[in-house]
Amino acid sequence: MPRYGPGRSWDAGPDGRVILDRICDDAFAALRPGGLLLLVQSGLSRPEETLGRLAAAGLDVCVTDRVTIPFGPVTRRRAAWLRDRGLLRDRLEREELVVIRGRKE
């Protein structure tokens, strides 16, 4: 994983979750009571794990929207990398974006 620059943001570790996991782990402490977290993430990086981590951290979570879109330029450039890690199957050229809402009661 790159240590600096855009590659760190786009690759996010061997399974694409380094940044997501940090957000999940820190969200409860960062929010005031009644505060909301809205997170848009690729379906390639296991949104069900994000839901579970946010819930385990104490947030009330739900998926508010899902949309399937063609790959953008970043995902197209990283398609071989994603396939090598088992995150992208076959010749899929579309990805699902998932909007997750977490609320601190």
pLDDT digits (tens, 9 = 90+) for 14-48: 666 888 999 999 999 999 999 999 999 988 889 99
Q: What is the pLDDT of residue 45?
A: 86
Query: Which residues form the domain of 63?
Result: 6-103
Global confidence as pTM: 0.81
Strands (E), the chain: 36-42, 60-70, 94-103
Find where tokens 């995150």 sit. Answer: 87
Q: Is residue 46, in this structure, part of any structural domain at all? A: yes
Query: Closest Cα to residue 11, out of 67, 68, 75?
Result: 75
Q: Is residue 30, in this structure, part of any structural domain at all? A: yes
Per-residue confidence band for 5, with pLDDT thresholds at 50, 70 and 90: low
Q: Is residue 1, in this structure, part of any structural domain at all? A: no
For residue 69, the cross-strand partners are 95
Q: Is residue 12, in this structure, part of any structural domain at all? A: yes
CA angle 85, 82, 95 (to 5 degrees): 130
Q: For the chain, what is the domain count?
A: 1
In whole angstroms, give the CA distance from residue 41 to residue 62. 13
Q: Is residue 78, in this structure, part of any structural domain at all? A: yes
Confirm if 75 and 95 have CB atoms less than 8 A apart: yes
In whole angstroms, give the CA distance from residue 45 to residue 15. 7
